[in-house]
Structure formats: C-alpha cells, structure tokens
C-alpha cells in the first residue's frame, strides 16, 4: 500500500474508474497530454487514449453541459473545471439541468456525472484561483457535493461519486493536493456517500469542517487538548446532502459547536449547520454556535490570503470563547 | 421591422409550385401525406392547447403556428437511434417522434409526468432555458459516437437562441470534435418582441456556423420537403463521421410568443398577414391536390381525425388525477437520502 | 397619491430615475417596445428613447457583463434578467466582476449597476420560471441583494438601488406584481438600503420573511393573533447585507423566531439568520429557531407548486410548535 | 501540432524586409524606435518578473515572450480617451498605456494596489477569468458612445478565449448595437497545453467575427507595424460610428504558459525553436538598423536603460510595505455596512 498525496490518490481513483468501467470518460481543459494543471490526470490520456481522456476547448458551459448530455447516453463523464473560480459559468447547467433531469423526467433520464474542481486558498495562487463557494452548489436541489480531506478519503469518495447514479460535484482542496501523504490501497472500494466522518472523538465541543480546514481544526484540537479541552472533530465530507444526524448526535453529546470554513461567512454552509442545531439541538446547546470562516469580503490577493482564511489560532480562540461561555 | 423572407433553398414555393427536382422521398405520395397529416395534426393540437389555456385548464403555452414544417421535417428525417432535443416550440417534432398529445398536455399543464413519455425514451424533454440544450446535444453526440450506435443528436431552438454563448460553445466543440450533432434553428423572425434584425448583425443565422468551422445552410422552413432534405443530408454527414451541421430554417411565428404574450404590442398585423401567404400547410396541400389526387374528402377526413384524436387526448389529460404532493420528491435522486425520504413520508398521500 | 400595484410602482421608480439622472439607462430582453414581459418598463422606451431603454439580444452573460462595463463609464445601468431561472448565466459576472471591481482596484473603478429579476413562485408559470435562489447571490461578496414586499417599498428601494454607488441585485417577487395596491407617492425619495423593517410589532415570537412571503406571514400572524399569539413580523428587505441588529433586537425581545422563505431549505438564506441567532442570541432563545421553506427538491411544476411553497397554514403550525416548546 | 504560421498581412517579414508600402507612422524613425523600445522593455520586464517568481518574490506570472508586438502595437494605436481591457498577458500594452512596472509587479505579487494605477485611470485591470472582459468592453463601448467621448473600448485576449460564450455574446451585441469596441486576439497558438488546432475547427479566429456580422481580419502579430496599422483602422471605424472589429494577431508563445507551467510536457522544443525565427523584436531591429541608422550603441543603451528601469522598479516593489490586513475590507463598498466596518475595526492595524 503506497503512501500517496491527495492528487496521487485522485489520479489512482480516476485510473481505477477508467479501468473498471468502459463508460467512464474524462474531459476538461488540459486534462490530456498535460495531465491537468495539478497533474490529477497525469498519464491517463497516454494510458487510456484520447477518446477517453480528452482536452476540451476553453468552455466551462460546454464542459458541464456536455457532461449532462453524455451522462444521459450511458456514459459516466468525469469532467473537470480547472479552478472553482471558473465554475460559475457551469452553474446554469448544474442548477437548470444536471440537478433536475431525473426528477423532471420522472426517472426516465438520469445524469450520472461528476464535475471535479480544485477549490480553496492557501497556495498563493493568482486572483480568482482560491475561491470556496461550495454553499452555492449545496443549495442546488438534486446535486451531491463532496469534499475530501485526506488522500484515502479522496480515493474512496471519488470512486463513490463516479459510481453514483446522480450528479456529483467533487471539490478538491488544492491546498491538500500535495500537503500530506498517507497509505492508500488501490482496492477499488468506494466509500459511502452522504456520510460525515468523526475524525476525532471528544467530549467538550464539536468542531465541524471539511476539506483543508479539517487539518487546521486538527491542529487547533491538539492545542486545545493541551489545555484540557477535548474536541470532537467531524469531517463533514458530504456537503449535500448533509449528514445531519451525525452532526446532531455529536453536539447532543458535547453541547458546544464550532463550524469552520474558508468561504465567506454570510450564507456559507456553516450557516446551514448552525441553523440545523438551532432548530434540532437547541436544548443541548451549552454555548453559542460559532462560525470561524472567511470574512464577508472578496478573497484578498496572495499577500493577505493568510489573514483571510481561518487558521488554528482563530479556531482555538473561538473554542476558548465557547468553552468559557456561561 | 422584419420584412419578407429572403430567397432560400425550397422545393415548393408558397403557391405549391415545384421549383426544382424533388428528392426521392418527396415523390412518394404516402410520405408526403404522412408529413402533411402530422403538420395538420400539430396545428389542430396547437389550437386545442390554446383553448385549454384560455379556459384555465393548461399553463402558458407557445404555439407553433406557421412553423409546423420545421420540426415535422426535421423529426421525419431522424431514425429511432437518433436523439431529439427540442426547445419549447417543437410540438410537431415531438408528436412525430412518438410523444403522445396527452403527454404534451400533461407537460404544459404543469405535470412532470408529461416528460416520462412512453414514446422515444431517449429523447430529451422540452428545454426552457434558451439554448442550454445545445451543450447537451454535443454530449449526446459524444455518447452516441462513443457507443457506436450510429445515432445523431438533433437539437432545435429559435433565432433568439443563437445569441446565447451556449449555442456557440456547443457548435465549437461539435466542430472540433467532429461530433454527430445537428443544430437546427427555427428562425421564426421573432424572439418574443425582438425582431430577427435586432438579434444579430449577421446576415444569416446559418453563417454563425463559420465561427465553429461547421457547414451552415439556410432552408425555407415553410417547405417541409426542404427541411427534411437538408436534415437528411446533415444526418448522413454525421453518420459518416463528418461531424455537425447548422441548419437555419426560415419561417415566421404567426402566433403570439405564448399565451402570455400579446404580439400586437410590438408588431404590425400587416406583417403577420403577409406571412400567412407563405405558411407551410397550404403549399403542401396544393401540391398534394395537384400531383397526388388529394381530395376535399381526404382533407376533411384528416381534419376530423386530427380533431377526434386531439379531443380524446385532451379528455384523457383532463381526467387524469394529479400526482400526490409527495411526488415532488420522487426521482430527485435514484436513492433518496434520509432527509428527502423523511419529507416524502411526512407528506403522506395527500 | 395613486394606488399602485408593485409592477406599477417599479415602473414609476424606473421612470423617475430616468428623468432625474441622464446617466440611467435600462436594458434587457424585451424591455423596449414590449415594456418587459411583466410590463415593468411599459412606455419607457417610447418616452425616453431607444438609446436609454434598449432591447438586448438573448444573452444573459452579456446583459450582466455589459452592465459592469457601462457602470465603469459613469452610466447607471439598470439591467433586467427576464426570470431568475435565467440568471445563472450572469453569476460569473456578478461574482467575478461586479462584486469585486471596486475592491480589487482599491476604489479606482466602481460598478453602480442594478440587476433586476422577477423571482419566486405562485403564478403557475412554466418550468424554470419560479425559482428563488437568492441565497446564492447573498453569498457573493461585494453585492447588495434587495427584495421589496409592497409597492411603496419597491418604489423606494429601487430608487435607492439605482442611486447606490455599488452593484445591487434587485429581486422582484412576481407573485406580488399585481397582487395588491397601495398608495405610492412619486416623491423621488429613496428608502435606506441595508435595513430590515418591522412590519408588525409583537411580543411572543419573531417571524422573518421577505418578498411574497411577508404577506403570507401577515395572514398567519392574523390567525395567530386570534389565538392570542402576538407575532412580530420583520420584512428583511435587504438580503445582503443583513440587518442583523434589527433581527437580534426583535428575537431578544420575543425569544422565539421563525424564518420563512420559498427557496429550498438547505443553504437557504434562512440558515444565515438562524445561525446568527444561534451565535448571538442563544441565551434569549426560548424555543428552537424554525425555518418554514421550500423543500429540498426541484421546484415542482405548476400542479404541485402550492404544495411546495410555504403558506399561512405551515407558518401557523411552525408558530404553534415554537410556542408550545418547553 | 501547430506548424508554421500562415501568411498574413505584414509589412515587415521575419527578416525585417519591407513587404509593402509602410503606413505613415512607420516611416517615422522616432515612432518606430519608441515602439521597439517598449517591446524591448517589455521583454526585459518579463525576464525580471520570472526571476522574481523563481526566487519566491512574485506570484505565478505569465510571460509575454514573443508576443510583445501585439499589445504594444494595439496600445500604441489607442488614444487617451480609449479604454484598454487587457487579459493577463499584455504587459507591454499596459506599460505603453502608462501603468508602471512597479504597479504590475505589485499586482503579480499579490497586492491589490497594483490595480490602482496612477496611469490610465479608466483602463481595466488584468482579466483572469478568460474572455469575461469582452462583455465589459461592450459595456464600456456603450458608455463611451453614450457619453459621446469618441473613445473606444479595446479588449484583448488569447486564442483560447475565443471558445468562450462570453466572447461570442459580446461580439454579437457589439455588432448589432454598432458599439465602439475593438476585440483583439493574441493568437499565440496555445492555450496552456491546447494547441490552436484543437481549440476550434474554424480556419481562422478572425472568421468568428462572421457570426456577429463584424469585420474580422488576420494580421501578423509579430509585426508591430501591422498590428498598429490594423488597430488604427479599427479605431477609425469605431470612432466614425461604424462599430466593432475583430483582429486576430498571429504570434507564438515562446515561453511556458506561466511560471506554474512546464510546456515541455506537451510541445516539442523544435516547434519553439522554429518560432524563434519569426519573433517580433529581431525584424524591427533589423529594419531600424537598415533604414534608420540604429546602432549597436543605441541597442546597448536601450538594453541598459530598460534593465535599470526594471531593476529600480523591482527594488521599489520589494521595498513596499504590505497592506495591513484590514485593507481587505477597504473598498468593498463605497460605504461599509456595519458588519464590514466592525470587521475592519476589529482587525486593527496588524
Ligand atoms: C436563457 C433564457 N433567457 C430568457 C428566457 C425567456 N424567453 C423565453 S422564450 C424567449 C425568446 C426565445 O426566442 P427564440 O429563440 O427566437 O425562440 P421562439 O420563442 O421564437 O421560438 C425568451 C427571451 C429563456 N427561456 N431562457
Ligand atoms: C474561464 C476560465 N477558464 C479557465 C481558466 C484557466 N486558464 C488560465 S489561462 C488559460 C488558457 C488561456 O489560453 P489563451 O486564451 O490562448 O491565452 P494565453 O494564455 O495563451 O495568453 C486557462 C485555461 C481561466 N483563467 N478562465
Ligand atoms: Mg424566434
Ligand atoms: Mg493562447
């Protein structure tokens, strides 16, 4: 079992899917000979041929829309949007078509497609390359939205997304692409979609995050543990649908909750979780539900991005605040 | 303002005169009668749909009055292996392909079951967001080519649709990937209140194909023979692996945009009257009478049958019990996640 | 002072803006001779000329993007998207440009544009014509998002939006276009943006809504009053930024809160309000914060839309639940 | 793979030979030297920017190596009243228009202040989302026409940008509204790893203008004289109220796509070498030497001055203190709503 980075695990999942299912095809900008700007598809065109791994013209609307069309014909398109900042042009296809084709045809047509996109900050990329707008996608009925937080999770969740009979947006935290390695078996085993994962048991408070923020929360939890505060950390993983019972169960146990995401606060996905708790776990709450998020402003350019994104220090401060609440 | 239509490739002129040698299919009386019958049926259906809407028994509806030759002509050229991706004004093509009138009424009456046609199971439902189905057609073409079925994706939309980026992006990928896809424009000269001349400075809409390196051609969309013949050629090209084609069919929207529209606000009656002289049914009828012995009795029988069929479909439609409210959760996903399942259950059968 | 419907009030505001400021221009699909599919611009082209009230080609991306460009040149474009279901193609321009032009140029360029769009259900319109996806827009930094709930509010808020130096998305609840009349003076007075409005004082619970739902909440509040329950009703009006202090003040007083919107529950804007309360008003909350919303599914076609949208009965039931909570 | 460039309108061939009668401006030594100097300066700046990036002192940067003639040529044709809307590879044009090197470095170093140029205050900052500034250019053109300033919007983007719907929609409205806007394509034959031939089946990118009813032309983008002359004509047309133009400038991306790219993964060195033979600086230098007495000393002085200026700018850039974190809230709105004001305050000056 090899130690892989997340981008290697993603490549292995893509490769596995191409091997296992002749209906899987990959397309997007620069996914072919270049292997994707992050190398997620490196070598796949060479191995599976240009008919199955194909560079598209520079057209995000068509990338998403062509995936919808191809999916109705029994293919399993895994399309790539090069950066989430360029995904906006694909939203019309996601909201007006992908998410509703099965529903509006009463199951006659379906849309088993995956739209992959790297997202999030932390790599000092140019303007428009560091967005985290997952909440917009999570609001669209009929989609699934998945975010992995480790290489192994990326492998298993991506396989699950590709095999799922419905459209999945698969958002890859680019900051994690090469940040850490872990052993990942190429066992072809898909993880279960729609599930959150408790990545750390704890008793004093629940911290919920996804993608790159899970590691940041882990660092904060370590520091908090040294101060005797026990955090239960949940990797939400599935942003749509949300595994509400897992979140509620944890908060019912701990009585406190912090939610962490890179996206701006207002109408971010953290709001949904806090709102769910405010409705379903109110009597369990011992302290305010605090969101530690990107600020309600435009993602600043590289020089200030560290000051924009939540970090362990901000998470700790929020935890402290929640623990001291009385 | 939109004037008369420019000259373009036609076999029958507005008076039903044969202008040039007819293609084989158009020398066959039965074929022509089938085409004519479907066009008449479409027009009868349109009238019924509008009547239902006016009496509160159907939702907003867009008539295809005057443009019947386009979608009937296109659909009649297609095979079963092909996939039709219609816009909201191509009832005739849907009927030809086997969607039932009852299903069409269900859809326009606001019931999703209308999209679950028994007929051409692979065809797309109507596309409302203008031009957004052109990318689907590219994808369908990709899928068909990949599966080697020999099928072709055929998408149709209006003149207004040619201003959307979707149309262009899709044409472009069809061009460069040589996908089996045919894009048809029903140029009925209006996009709601926007005359064709204000939609684009391009002299023809067909010339937009140049941007994608595709062949584009203009045909008389009021001549079902010309439409079918052009579609035949485009389908042949696509099946031969030669890629896509753009076909602009010139016609005219004789009706309001939809039942929610009042076209007298923005165009002259005189313009509409002028275009009644070139509408597609009369010319084919004249030709059938002159060349194939189509009689007054034949015509009356056709009208009677069309009305009977339409009325029967309308009655079945009106008699259908609505979906239960929880149906809104059906088919959202193949397998409902817990929240959705709970909602459906909560709603019960009421 | 004439009794006007909302669509008449909007037309009066547009007309006033065109009169008062030669830089105001209007464009969109069918806004010219047809006067807009809802007649919001009826007569304006005839009166102000085709150079100021102009039909665009069928191109939503260009409608939004051209507004951005024109706004930088000292014009005040008021652009129209014919229905919110067709606004998705404009999101790229809103998120990647309109919302950030001032910020990214450090104030050198700005974007005083208004993008109007009818939204919401209740008129048995065809597919894609009844969406309420305001939360997606409220998540975009740098925008304002406004929704009026009555003719007079529409007049004053639209004038304010047009005069505002920054981009505003102005969403018009089409169900209210002709639903009721009220006296509206053509006084040229703009309302203040960024403010919620308490439309009914009450003491037992706070009900927050916007657009067409405000009237529905009013009906529910009447019925609740008969049962001795006193509702404070807030018309949020400004969906971005949210007038958090007004909401908090009310909930601190009443201790209970219901939020009502047509959009799907998950990641809807109601989540933001509930989350804000879960953080800032937890100790005031006597009961769970309940959201009464569209369901997490595709907006059904006309036959079932009444069953999808919140109505007075569902709001009353939620209120009852909240009042009985112990 | 991308071969040699097709023949197209040029005044100087790759060897600096005059091919046809030069336009007036190109007979003036001073003008030619100014153009040449800016191209050299751009190349020197590019090299410095890459060096800064390689040593961790600048963000991802896209070099304009080999394409200097395009944006310098275009910008040099523009007047002050015009508005430039560049993509991310048009440093030369920005410099010509008056943006300082220091400002460019600030931008590419990840600091918004780089967009607040002292120079052409009406020009747009770099556009990263490909082609999304073409709609802006249409709007700018609309604004300029409305205000009657005589100004023209000039947007420039790459060959890849021509596949985006934005490009097409914007061309279409420019066409039908006759807006004063010029769209320039820097066809450097590659969009990251995508060769021009796979981007579209259209034979030229200029022919895409046909879709909008606009004039389109292909010029040799390595000949600054040809670029400027074509832009002059397009600007004249626009100022005369004759609407927009699409100009495709053929050139070649001699560098990687950006500093984050490794072009050797997807193209042959031989192809790159071949294109070094047609790059834009040599031919103009040869011409200057042959016709205008440009000497070795002149050349050395120019290089020295360019380097000095670049180094000085880089030093000023490196010496600048960063914005305080709260600057991220500045200019979000003209007047900060309470939440934003509170955040800015909370963040303090740290
Ligand atoms: C993307 C999008 N924008 C706007 C609309 C509203 N709308 C419906 S039909 C129509 C005009 C369509 O004109 P055309 O393409 O010529 O088709 P026709 O109605 O004439 O058949 C418009 C603007 C829509 N459905 N989709
Ligand atoms: C809408 C969009 N999609 C994808 C990208 C990522 N990207 C940046 S540059 C580029 C290629 C651009 O090619 P071209 O238009 O030819 O310009 P060049 O880089 O050659 O100057 C891509 C795909 C982007 N910036 N914007
Ligand atoms: Mg039309
Ligand atoms: Mg290029």
**DSSP assignment of B268-289:** -HHHHHHHHTT-HHHHHHHHHH
Note whether D203 contacts B213, CB cutoff 8 Å: yes
CA distance C186 to C19: 12
- List ligand 1's pocket residues with C-beta within 6 A: B 89, 128-130, 157-161, 186, 188, 190-192, 253, 257; C 29, 58, 60, 82, 86
Work out the percent of chain B whose per-residue pLDDT is above 90.
Answer: 96
State the angle between helix axes of D224-239 and D68-77 in degrees (0 to 180), rounded to the nearest 10. 30
Q: Which of A217-226, B7-16, D45-54, D115-124 has the lowest mean pLDDT?
A: B7-16
CB proximity list for D331: less than 8 A, separation 6 or greater = C102, C103, C105, C106, C107
Helix (H) or strand (E) holding C71: helix C60-72
Note whether A72 contacts B143, CB cutoff 8 Å: yes
CA distance A228 to A287: 18
Contact in structure between C50 and C25 (CB atoms under 8 Å): no
Query: Ligand 1: which atom is nearest the Cα of residue B199?
Result: 16
D158 Cα: distance to centroid of ligand 2 (angstroms): 7
Instruction: Give the domains, in start order, of chain D with CATH numbers.
Output: 24-319 (3.40.50.970), 325-350 (no CATH)
Chains in contact with C, where contact requires at least 3 CB pairs less than 8 Å apart: A, B, D
Nearest to D188 by CA among D123, D254, D244, D264: D254
The conformational region for residue D294 under phi > 0 = left, psi -120 to 50 = alpha, else beta, is beta
Residue in D166, D207, D211 closest to B202 by CB: D211
Cis omega (within 30 of 0) on the bond before A37?
no
Assess whether B257 carries a catalytic annotation.
yes
Residue in C91, C264, C278 closest to A277 by CB: C278
The protein residue with its alpha carbon nearest to ligand 2, atom 20, reads D191
Known catalytic residues of A are 129
SS3 A80: strand
Query: Mean pLDDT throughout D250-273?
Result: 97
Query: Mean pLDDT throughout C286-301?
Result: 97
pLDDT digits over D142-165, tens only?
999 999 999 999 999 999 999 999
The gap from C-alpha D1 to its chain's centroid, in whole angstroms, comes to 25
The protein residue with its alpha carbon nearest to ligand 1, atom 19, reads B191
Can you give the pLDDT at residue C1? 85
| Torsion angle, alpha carbons of D312, D316, D319, D322, to 10 | -150
ipTM of the complex: 0.98
Nearest to A63 by CA among A13, A117, A140: A117
DSSP string, D245-310: EEEEEE----S-SSTT--GGGTS-HHHHHHHHTT-HHHHHHHHHHHHH---HHHHHHHHHHHHHHH
Nearest to D128 by CA among D182, D74, D164: D164
Note whether A73 contacts B125, CB cutoff 8 Å: no
Which residue does chain C place closest to D141, by CA atoms? C70
* pLDDT tier, C273 (very low <50, low <70, confident <90, very high otherwise): very high
CA distance D84 to D86: 6
User: Structure pTM?
Assistant: 0.98
Helix (H) or strand (E) holding C208: strand C205-209
pLDDT digits over C17-76, tens only?
999 999 999 999 999 999 999 999 999 999 999 999 999 999 999 999 999 999 999 999
Q: Is the pLDDT of residue C285 over 60?
A: yes
Domain A2-184: CATH class, spelled out:
alpha beta
Can you give the pLDDT at residue A173? 98
Map out the domains of chain A as residue ranges: 2-184, 197-323
Note whether C92 contacts D136, CB cutoff 8 Å: no
* pLDDT tier, A38 (very low <50, low <70, confident <90, very high otherwise): very high
Can you give the pLDDT at residue D9? 86
Locate C161 and state its tokens: 């939006």
From C29, C30, C58, C64, give the residue whose CB has the most ligand 1 atoms within 8 Å, as the site to mutate: C58
Q: Which residues of D touch A55 (CB under 8 A)?
A: 193-194, 198
D259 Cα: distance to centroid of ligand 2 (angstroms): 14
Which residue does chain D place closest to A124, by CA atoms? D59
Cis omega (within 30 of 0) on the bond before C241?
yes
Query: Mean pLDDT throughout D264-276?
Result: 97
Can you give the pLDDT at residue D8? 65
pLDDT digits over C168-206, tens only?
999 999 999 999 999 999 999 999 999 999 999 999 999
Work out the percent of chain B whose per-residue pLDDT is above 70.
Answer: 97
DSSP string, A9-24: HHHHHHHHHHHH-TTE
Say which of D89, D133, D196, D253 is annotated catalytic.
D253
Helix (H) or strand (E) holding A259: strand A257-264
Q: Which residues of C touch B322 (CB under 8 A)?
A: 303-304
* pLDDT tier, C326 (very low <50, low <70, confident <90, very high otherwise): confident
Can you give the pLDDT at residue D172? 98
Residues from D contacting B (CB-CB < 8 Å) are 163-166, 168-169, 172, 175-176, 178, 198-203, 207-208, 210-214, 243
Mean pLDDT of chain C: 97
pLDDT digits over A151-203, tens only?
999 999 999 999 999 999 999 999 999 999 999 999 999 999 999 999 999 99
pLDDT digits over B229-288, tens only?
999 999 999 999 999 999 999 999 999 999 999 999 999 999 999 999 999 999 999 999
Chain A, chain C: beta-carbon pairs less than 8 Å apart: 149
Can you give the pLDDT at residue D349? 75
Work out the percent of chain D whose per-residue pLDDT is above 90.
Answer: 96
C278 touches chain A (CB under 8 A): yes
From B160, B185, B248, B258, give the residue whose CB has the most ligand 1 atoms within 8 Å, as the site to mutate: B160
Can you give the pLDDT at residue D348? 82
Mean pLDDT of chain D: 96
Query: Ligand 2: which atom is nearest the Cα of residue D130?
Result: 26
What CATH code is assigned to A197-323? Answer: 3.40.50.920
CB proximity list for D313: less than 8 A, separation 6 or greater = D45, D100, D101, D102, D105
Half-sphere exposure of B310 (CA within 13 A, CB side): 21
Q: Is the pLDDT of residue B186 over 90?
A: yes
The protein residue with its alpha carbon nearest to ligand 2, atom 7, reads D130
B207 Cα: distance to centroid of ligand 2 (angstroms): 27
CB burial of residue D5 (10 Å; 0-12, 13-18, 19+) = buried
- φ, ψ of residue D37 in degrees (nearest 5): -60, -40
CA distance D98 to D76: 11
**Preferred mutation among A121, A136, A142, A275 to probe C, highest tally of C CBs within 10 A:** A275
Q: Is the pLDDT of residue C318 over 80?
A: yes
A57 Cα: distance to centroid of ligand 2 (angstroms): 10
Can you give the pLDDT at residue B9? 86
**Preferred mutation among D142, D183, D244 to probe C, highest tally of C CBs within 10 A:** D142
Can you give the pLDDT at residue A326? 77
Rg value, chain B, Cα: 20
Say which of D168, D266, D307, D326 is annotated catalytic.
D266
Higher pLDDT, B8 or B19: B19
Q: Is the pLDDT of residue B8 over 80?
A: no
Q: Is the pLDDT of residue B91 over 80?
A: yes
Residue in B129, B147, B337 closest to A73 by CB: B147
CA distance A319 to A258: 7
Note whether D165 contacts B163, CB cutoff 8 Å: no
Note whether A30 contacts D163, CB cutoff 8 Å: no
Note whether A62 contacts B83, CB cutoff 8 Å: no
Note whether C126 contacts B128, CB cutoff 8 Å: yes
Q: Beta strand A182-184 with A2-4: parallel, antiparallel or unpaired?
A: antiparallel
Q: For residue B158, give the ligand nearest its CA.
A: 1
Higher pLDDT, C211 or D7: C211
Query: Mean pLDDT throughout D257-276?
Result: 97
* pLDDT tier, B2 (very low <50, low <70, confident <90, very high otherwise): very low
Can you give the pLDDT at residue A277? 98
Q: For residue D258, give the ligand nearest its CA.
A: 2
Q: Which of B1-15, B64-78, B141-155, D74-88 has the lowest mean pLDDT?
A: B1-15
Can you give the pLDDT at residue B7? 53
Q: Is the pLDDT of residue B3 over 50?
A: no
Query: Residues B86, B91, B96, B101: is their CA dihedral positive or negative?
Result: positive
Q: Is the pLDDT of residue B349 over 80?
A: no
Cα distances (angstroms) measured from residue A227 to each of A12, A314, A321, B4, C248: 40, 16, 14, 84, 33
8-state DSSP, C131: -
CA distance A61 to B132: 9
Q: Is the pLDDT of residue B1 over 80?
A: no
* pLDDT tier, D2 (very low <50, low <70, confident <90, very high otherwise): very low
CA distance D156 to D77: 14
Query: Ligand 1: which atom is nearest the Cα of residue B162?
Result: 15
A109 touches chain C (CB under 8 A): no
CB proximity list for B174: less than 8 A, separation 6 or greater = B137, B138, B141, B181, B183, B212, B214, B243, B244
Nearest to B194 by CA among B267, B249, B247, B254: B267
Contact in structure between B238 and B231 (CB atoms under 8 Å): no
Residues from B contacting D (CB-CB < 8 Å) are 163-166, 168-169, 172, 175-176, 178, 198-203, 207-208, 210-214, 243
The protein residue with its alpha carbon nearest to ligand 2, atom 19, reads D191
**Preferred mutation among C62, C94, C97 to probe D, highest tally of D CBs within 10 A:** C62
CB burial of residue B349 (10 Å; 0-12, 13-18, 19+) = exposed
Assess whether D233 carries a catalytic annotation.
no
Locate C207 and state its tokens: 């009900």
Assess whether D136 carries a catalytic annotation.
no
A128 touches chain D (CB under 8 A): yes
């Amino acid at each position: 079992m090899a130690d892989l980075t997340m981008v290697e695990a993603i490549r292995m999942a893509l490769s596995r899917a191409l091997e296992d299912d002749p209906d899987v095809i990959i397309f997007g900008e620069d996914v072919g000979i270049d292997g994707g700007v992050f190398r997620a598809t490196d070598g796949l065109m060479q191995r599976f041929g240009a008919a199955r791994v194909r560079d598209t013209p520079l057209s995000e609307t068509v990338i998403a829309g062509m995936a919808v069309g191809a999916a109705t014909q029994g293919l399993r398109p895994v399309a790539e949007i090069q950066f989430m900042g360029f995904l906006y042009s694909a939203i019309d296809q996601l909201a007006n078509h992908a998410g509703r084709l099965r529903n509006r045809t009463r199951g006659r047509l379906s849309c088993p497609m995956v739209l992959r996109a790297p997202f999030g900050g932390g790599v000092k990329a140019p303007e428009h390359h560091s967005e985290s707008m997952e909440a917009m996608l999570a609001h669209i009925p009929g989609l699934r939205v998945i975010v992995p937080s480790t290489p192994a999770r990326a492998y298993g969740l991506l396989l699950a997304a590709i095999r799922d009979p419905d459209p999945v947006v698969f958002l890859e935290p680019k900051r994690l692409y090469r940040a850490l390695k872990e052993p990942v078996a190429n066992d072809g085993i898909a993880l279960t979609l729609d599930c959150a994962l408790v990545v750390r048991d704890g008793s004093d408070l629940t911290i919920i995050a996804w993608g790159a923020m899970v590691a940041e929360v882990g660092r904060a939890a370590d520091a908090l543990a040294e101060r005797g505060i026990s955090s239960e950390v949940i990797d939400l993983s599935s942003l749509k649908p949300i595994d509400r019972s897992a979140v509620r169960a944890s908060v019912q146990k701990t009585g406190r909750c912090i939610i962490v995401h890179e996206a701006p606060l207002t109408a971010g996905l953290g709001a949904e979780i806090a709102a769910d708790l405010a409705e379903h776990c109110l009597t369990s709450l011992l302290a305010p539900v605090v969101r530690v998020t990107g600020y309600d402003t435009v993602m600043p350019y590289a020089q200030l991005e560290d000051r924009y994104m939540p970090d362990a220090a901000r998470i700790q401060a929020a935890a402290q605040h929640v623990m001291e609440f009385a | 303002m939109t004037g008369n239509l420019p000259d373009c490739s036609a076999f029958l002129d507005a008076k039903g005169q044969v202008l040039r040698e007819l293609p084989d299919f158009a020398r066959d009386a039965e074929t022509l009668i089938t085409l004519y019958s479907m066009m008449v049926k479409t027009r009868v259906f349109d009238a019924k749909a509008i009547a239902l809407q006016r009496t509160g028994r159907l939702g907003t509806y867009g008539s295809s009055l005057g443009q019947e030759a386009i979608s009937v002509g296109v659909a009649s050229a297609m095979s079963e292996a092909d996939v039709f991706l219609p816009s909201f004004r191509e009832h005739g093509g849907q009927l030809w392909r086997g969607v039932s009138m009852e299903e069409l009424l269900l859809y326009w009456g606001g019931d999703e079951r209308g999209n679950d046609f028994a007929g051409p199971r692979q065809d797309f439902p109507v596309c409302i967001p203008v031009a957004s189905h052109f990318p689907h057609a590219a994808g369908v073409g990709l899928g068909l080519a990949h599966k080697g079925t020999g099928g072709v994706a055929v998408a149709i939309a209006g003149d207004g649709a040619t201003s959307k980026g979707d149309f262009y992006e899709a044409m472009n990928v069809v061009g460069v990937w040589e996908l089996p896809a045919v894009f048809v424009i029903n140029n009925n000269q209006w996009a709601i209140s926007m005359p064709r001349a204000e939609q684009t400075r391009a002299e023809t809409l067909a010339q937009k194909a140049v941007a994608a390196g595709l062949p584009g051609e203009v045909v008389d969309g009021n001549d079902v023979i010309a439409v079918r013949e052009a579609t035949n050629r485009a389908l042949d090209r696509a099946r031969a692996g030669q890629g896509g084609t753009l076909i602009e069919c010139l016609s005219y929207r004789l009706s309001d945009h939809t039942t929610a529209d009042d076209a007298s606000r923005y165009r002259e009656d005189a313009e509409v009257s002028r275009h009644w002289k070139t509408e597609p049914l009369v010319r084919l009828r004249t030709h059938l009478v002159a060349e194939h012995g189509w009689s007054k009795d034949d015509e009356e029988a056709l009208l009677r049958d069309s009305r009977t069929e339409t009325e029967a479909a309308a009655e079945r439609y009106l008699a259908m019990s609505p979906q239960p409210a929880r149906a809104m959760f059906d088919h959202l996903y193949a397998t409902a996640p817990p929240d959705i399942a709970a909602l459906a259950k909560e709603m019960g059968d009421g």
